[in-house]
Amino acid sequence: MSSSQAAVGAIVWVALLTLIMGLTKQVGLEAFSSDPLGITKMLSHWAFVLVYMWMTYILGLVILRQISHFTWRGVPFLVSHFGLFLVLTCGTLGSADMQRLRLGAELEAEVPEWRGLDDKNNVHELDFAVQLNSFIMDTYPPKLIVIDSKSGDALPRGKSDVLSLEDSLAHGRLNGWEIHVKQYLPFAALVPEGSKLKAVAWGSAGAIPAAMVEVINPTTHHRISGWVSCGSFYFPMQVLPLDAKTAVAMPQLEPRRFASDVTVYTKDGRKLRDTIDVNKPLSVSGWKIYQLDYDHDRGRWSRYSVFELVRDPWLPYVYVGIALLLLGAILMFVMGSRRK
């Protein structure tokens, strides 16, 4: 069973099943397979599990044989094989023991949140609590587009023209119209001015980006001007009508980055303050806390954050296995060079 023929056979079968898994859309862990053969849920398929166990068993026999016939020349192979064995076994055990929870924290909450919810909305008490100090959002520069006044679709359809407000006094052409930005306020409020709305600088919650736009008709050279804004939960969206069918509009801001400034309190009395990003988690008590979501209606003024909590007790052993694989590769290179 520990021969090279058996190992090659196991590797071929694993590669084939992995290829099938990569070429077919997989369903979630809680869902049923969407095909009669079960290949859309390959990780739970009996063939994949059987071949995986077969390969791990062969690898274990190879390690035992290398230990029983130990030589210094075989150390690189022993280290590499043992590292691969750790990755395979601990990775499998980790997928079974991994916990994923969601935790929501609100600004100015009287009590930090210490409870998480699983996929079935069961409540789990944690050995730490999270307090949200502030929500942070960086956005891409606002954009101007021309839209169909009835449908709201960007024009021209299929490949709309976009004018980015990276430069506060931007200018360009949108759907044939000549656009000039006369004034830009990154944080503004809309206030009445006669029969129209005017933007003024304002830095409180709900503030909006606003641009004073002048539009020139390319045929008649008629000029139209007015304020344009994407709006917020506090102020309505403001468009500039060009004719009966079209208008200049500002789409909702697109987030470049969103994060949360939090304080974490642990049962042993520790108090940790840090910023949690989407791809920069905070590690606490064996858990990794990721930024997951926020209040999309309020956008940059969101008053709550949703975090994903992940705990995998086997992950450190997987890292050890990867380190052993790298060490084995280095030893093979060094000892091979010495023999030459």
Alpha-carbon distance of 331 to 334, in angstroms, equals 5
Task: Give the mean pLDDT of the chain.
Answer: 89
What is the per-residue pLDDT across 241-280, written as a single tens digit (0 to 9) for each? 999 999 999 999 999 999 999 999 999 999 999 999 999 9
- In the chain, the DSSP E strands lie at 99-106, 113-117, 123-139, 143-148, 154-155, 163-164, 171-174, 177-193, 196-201, 208-216, 223-229, 240-241, 246-249, 255-266, 271-277, 282-284, 287-294, 304-311
What is the per-residue pLDDT across 81-98, written as a single tens digit (0 to 9) for each? 899 889 888 877 666 678
Site of tokens 């979630």 = 28
pLDDT at 271: 96
Q: Are strands 143-148 and 208-216 parallel, antiparallel or unpaired?
A: unpaired
**Domain limits, the chain:** 4-98+315-339, 102-138+256-311, 141-253
Residue 151 has pLDDT above 80, yes or no: yes
Percent of the chain clearing pLDDT 90 (strictly above): 63
What is the per-residue pLDDT across 215-226, written as a single tens digit (0 to 9) for each? 999 889 999 999
pLDDT at 227: 97
> Could you tell me the pLDDT band of residue 110, with boundaries at 50, 70 and 90?
very high
What is the per-residue pLDDT across 286-319, written as a single tens digit (0 to 9) for each? 999 999 999 999 999 999 999 999 999 888 898 9
> 68: helix, coil or strand?
helix
Dihedral angle over CA of 233, 234, 240, 246, nearest 10: 30
> Could you tell me the pLDDT band of residue 123, with boundaries at 50, 70 and 90?
very high
